Amino acid sequence: MTWKLVPAAVLLAAGCSHARNTAAAPAAGVRVSMQSVKGKPPGYYVDAASKISSAVTRAVPGVVWIVGVYQDDGSCRLSFPGGATVRPPHVLFSPADLNEPYLRAFDAAGIEVWLQVEPGRADPVRLIELVMERYSTYRCVKGVGIDVEWYMRSADSPMGAPVSDAAARQWLAAVRRSGPDCGLFLKHWRTDMLPAGERTGILFIDDSQGFRDMDAMLKEFKGWGAAFRTGEVAFQVGYPRDRDWWGKVSRPERAVTRRIFDEISNCAAVYWVDFTLEEVVPRTADAPPPDAVERP
* DSSP one-letter code for 51: H
Is residue 287 in some structural domain?
no
Is residue 295 in some structural domain?
no
pLDDT at 293: 59
Give CA–CA dist 294/296, Å, rounded.
7
Which stretches of the chain are DSSP H helices?
A: 8-11, 34-37, 42-53, 100-109, 124-135, 165-176, 214-227, 243-246, 252-263, 277-280
List own/partner pairs for 102-105 with CB under 8 A and 24 or more apart. 102/37, 102/42, 102/45, 102/65, 102/290, 103/65, 103/135, 103/138, 103/140, 103/141, 104/42, 104/138, 105/3, 105/42, 105/43, 105/45, 105/46
Query: What does each of the 296 residues of the chain score in pLDDT, given as a tens digit?
Result: 333 333 333 333 444 754 444 457 899 999 999 889 988 999 999 999 999 999 999 999 999 999 999 999 999 999 999 987 788 999 999 999 999 999 999 999 999 999 999 999 999 999 999 999 999 999 999 999 999 999 999 888 899 999 999 999 999 999 999 999 999 999 999 999 999 999 999 999 999 999 999 999 999 999 999 999 999 999 999 999 999 999 999 999 999 999 999 999 999 999 999 999 999 999 886 555 565 555 66
Is residue 3 in some structural domain?
no
* DSSP one-letter code for 74: S
pLDDT at 143: 97
pLDDT at 84: 73
Is residue 292 in some structural domain?
no
Domain encompassing residue 234:
8-280
| Residues 6 or more apart whose Cβ sits within 8 Å of residue 116 | 64, 65, 66, 67, 68, 144, 145, 146, 147, 185, 187
pLDDT at 19: 45
pLDDT at 296: 64
Is residue 294 in some structural domain?
no
Give CA–CA dist 31/241, Å, rounded.
16
Number of folded domains that form the chain: 1
Is residue 289 in some structural domain?
no
Q: How many helices (H) and strands (E) does the chain have?
A: 10, 10
> Domain holding 210: CATH number?
3.20.20
Is residue 288 in some structural domain?
no
